[in-house]
Structure 1
Amino acid sequence: MKSKNTDTQDNKLNIFRLLRIARDIKVKDLAQELSVTPAYINAIENGERFPSDRLLKDYAQALGVEKDTILNFKLEDQKNKKFENVLLSLLQMICNTGN
């Protein structure tokens, strides 16, 4: 019997997934806009891949944030952050960009 551990899920917070959900964009729609497969988007959101610089720029534009917003979250140590704190930080960054 498999059960998901919420601590494990919190440790795998992914800025790409959070931004996509916050913008109410479906994986298939984002994949189409970025000319990649939905499987590639899922790999990015699962932390298995990280987009190239060009794709990161396009990704940020599609999600309505600056590329640096994404990079700031990638560089931060999120292991000790609770989901609510990460989401609050994300929302503050989005609101400050004026988008």
Structure 2
Amino acid sequence: MAKSIIQKEKYCYLSGAKNVPLEEHHCFFGPLRKISERYGFKVWLTPEYHRGKNGPHQDRQTDLLLKRVCQRKFEETHSREEFMEIIGRNYLDD
């Protein structure tokens, strides 16, 4: 179980809330959940930001935001080609 490559501290990535119940969100879920776990492609979110109407499981824009943040962070130390080998697609426009 790898630590998040995005967050060093435990707080809601979307709201900044601390000292509240938090849930771990895998930026790439479903069949890619194990890959997210292996590479640390995850963030902490409050239950509302995780599963609520504006959370990544209900809102495509929030989902894409977290995927892009994750890819940018990964590419700080790896290549885009490596990311695409792991995930299978590019989420960045640049």
* Fold match (TM-score > 0.5): no
Structure number with the bigger relative contact order (C-alpha 8 A, sep ≥ 6) is 1
Larger Rg: 1
Q: What TM-score, normalized by structure 1, do the two folds share?
A: 0.27
* Structure with greater proportional strand content: 2
Q: What TM-score, normalized by structure 2, do the two folds share?
A: 0.28
